[in-house]
C-alpha cells in the first residue's frame, strides 16, 4: 500500500486531500515542518503533499530541501501545495527539488491525478 504524507497547518485542507485521494492508500498527516520531516524519516512515504507556509521552525521549502538533500529520502516525490502563487515561488520550489507545484485554491482532482501518476 502506497504511503502518502499530507502536510498542512489547516485541517480542512488535509481532510479535503484525504477524502479526494480515497481508499487503498496509507495516509499520514502532519501540521508543521518539523513533524513532517520526522514522519518522512520514520515512515518513508512515497509521496509528500507539502504546504509552504506553516507555523514552527521549518517552512515547507526547508522541509523540501531536507527531503531532497538526504540520500535516504531524495527519491520521495514532493508536491508543493501553497497559496504562494508567484512564478518566482514556483521556480524557487523547483530549484530545491519540488516535483510539482499547485497553487491554492487548487483542484483536488488535479492533485489526485498527479499522485496516481506517481503511484504507477
Q: Using alpha carbons only, give the angle 92, 89, 106 rounded to the nearest 5 degrees.
A: 125
Percentage of the chain modeled with pLDDT above 90: 80
CATH number of 103's domain: 3.40.50.2300
Is there a domain that residue 68 lies in?
yes
Q: What is the structure's pLDDT at 3?
A: 96
45 or 90: which leads in pLDDT: 45
pTM: 0.94
What's the average model confidence in pLDDT over 45-70?
Answer: 94
Please report, for residues 24, 41, 62, 83, 98, the alpha-carbon distance to residue 34 in angstroms, rounded to integers and kept in the order given.
Answer: 27, 11, 10, 20, 18
Distance separating alpha carbons of residues 22 and 64, to the nearest angstrom: 25
Q: Which residue has the cell 499522485?
A: 115
Question: In terms of residue numbers, what domain contains 35?
Answer: 2-113
Q: What pLDDT digit, counting tens, does each position of 64-107 carry?
A: 999 999 999 999 999 999 887 788 888 889 999 999 999 999 99
Asked whether residue 64 is domain-assigned, the answer is yes
Provide the domain count of the chain.
1
Predicted confidence at residue 120, as pLDDT, reads 82
How confident is the model at residue 116, as a pLDDT?
Answer: 92
In a domain, 92, yes or no: yes
**Domain presence at residue 120:** no
Amino acid at each position: 500500500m502506497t504511503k502518502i504524507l499530507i502536510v498542512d497547518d489547516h485541517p480542512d485542507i488535509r481532510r479535503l486531500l484525504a477524502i479526494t485521494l480515497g481508499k487503498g492508500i496509507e495516509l499520514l498527516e502532519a501540521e508543521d515542518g518539523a513533524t513532517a520531516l520526522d514522519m518522512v524519516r520514520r515512515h518513508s512515504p512515497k509521496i509528500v503533499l507539502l504546504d509552504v507556509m506553516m507555523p514552527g521552525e521549518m517552512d515547507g521549502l526547508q522541509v523540501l530541501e531536507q527531503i531532497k538533500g538526504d540520500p535516504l529520502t531524495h527519491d520521495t516525490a514532493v508536491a508543493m501545495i501553497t497559496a504562494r502563487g508567484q512564478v518566482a515561488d514556483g521556480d524557487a520550489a523547483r530549484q530545491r527539488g519540488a516535483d510539482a507545484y499547485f497553487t491554492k485554491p487548487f483542484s483536488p482532482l488535479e492533485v489526485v491525478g498527479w499522485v496516481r501518476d506517481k503511484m504507477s
